[in-house]
Amino acid sequence: MEHMIIGSSVRHYEEVGSTNDLALELAAAGAAEGTVVRADAQTAGRGRIGRSWNSGRGKGLYLTVILRPRLEPAALGLLSLAAGEAVRCALASVCGLEGRIKWPNDVLVSGRKIAGVLMESRTGSSGVEYIVLGIGINTDWELADREGDFRVPPTGISLETDAPAQTELLFTGLLAELDRIYRDICSGRTGGLVADVSSALDRQGRSATLSLPDRRVSGILEGITPDGGLILATESGQEIFHSGELDYEKKS
């Protein structure tokens, strides 16, 4: 991992509660930018909006990256997009899988969720002090693993490729992709990321509903803005969102 920011130091554990929780602790204690916390299993894996993340041994790649970006607040939303895009690129190059991005950073293969991202930040008096980007990718799954109460139907690499997931290659490929995209963002070259995510954006031109804490907004999913916001054409005109969870309307 020489010369890379992401993965400059990798801490690999057999089992932790949550790699995000451990990364937050390490970052608070001064861990360097690019430090990666990886675990073979998590006993308290966390998903977005308070959900849990199934984290059994052999079933997934679970990792969190510590970042200390010196970016304008508007560029921070791009980091969340970057993680999903890095996963999409690594799945393509290592596993030959074509992924789509469900805004902002879920990765879907054949319409099923194969990876998710949980980005968390801590701010101080001078702005964002550090960010942790937690990534979970479903690897060696059996059909029975798809059963359960999932908001988006899930899948795993082995189910999509009919072969064991090459988890170690995927790990190094993912770090390389994230390193490339992160360097671009930090040096202001964000156009490529936005263009790549736009062309892989799932449900573009189709109807979608965004759940916000206080309301649900439906419209046609038109694309993303240069800072990674979601553009929805609603009854009251074009609206841009920087947070929320997309629920696809089943009829579309």
Binding residues vs ligand BTN (CB under 6 A): 18-20, 42, 45-48, 51, 53, 62-64, 106, 116-118, 134-136
Cis-peptide into 154, omega within 30 deg: no
Residue count of the chain:
252
Q: Which is nearer to ligand BTN, 48 or 242 (CB)?
A: 48
- Give dist(CA 1, CA 34) in Å, integer: 11
Instruction: Work out how close the CB of 16 gets to ligand BTN at its nearest, in angstroms, rounded to a whole number.
Output: 8
Q: Which is nearer to ligand BTN, 78 or 246 (CB)?
A: 246
Instruction: Work out how close the CB of 18 gets to ligand BTN at its nearest, in angstroms, rounded to a whole number.
Output: 3
Instruction: Work out how close the CB of 63 gets to ligand BTN at its nearest, in angstroms, rounded to a whole number.
Output: 6
Q: Which is nearer to ligand BTN, 84 or 219 (CB)?
A: 84
Q: Which is nearer to ligand BTN, 104 or 229 (CB)?
A: 104
Q: Which is nearer to ligand BTN, 48 or 180 (CB)?
A: 48
Q: Which residue has the CB atom at the shortest distance from ligand BTN?
A: 116
Instruction: Work out how close the CB of 237 gets to ligand BTN at its nearest, in angstroms, rounded to a whole number.
Output: 30
Q: How many CB atoms lie within 10 A of CB 22?
A: 19
DSSP secondary structure string for all residues of 65-103: EEE-----HHHHHHHHHHHHHHHHHHHHHHH----EEET
Q: What is the CA radius of gyration of the chain?
A: 17
Q: Which is nearer to ligand BTN, 74 or 116 (CB)?
A: 116
Give per-residue burial for 103-113: e unless 16+ CB within 10 Å, then b. bbbbbbbeebb
Q: Which two tokens stand for residue 78?
A: 């791009």
* CB of 147 closer than 8 Å to CB of 81: no
Instruction: Work out how close the CB of 106 gets to ligand BTN at its nearest, in angstroms, rounded to a whole number.
Output: 6
Q: Who contacts 25 (Cβ-Cβ below 8 Å, separation ≥6)? A: none
Distances (CA, A) of 190 to 65, 78, 184, 202, 221: 20, 8, 6, 20, 21
What single-letter amino acid sits at 101?
I
* CB of 150 closer than 8 Å to CB of 193: no
Instruction: Work out how close the CB of 41 gets to ligand BTN at its nearest, in angstroms, rounded to a whole number.
Output: 11
Instruction: Work out how close the CB of 40 gets to ligand BTN at its nearest, in angstroms, rounded to a whole number.
Output: 12
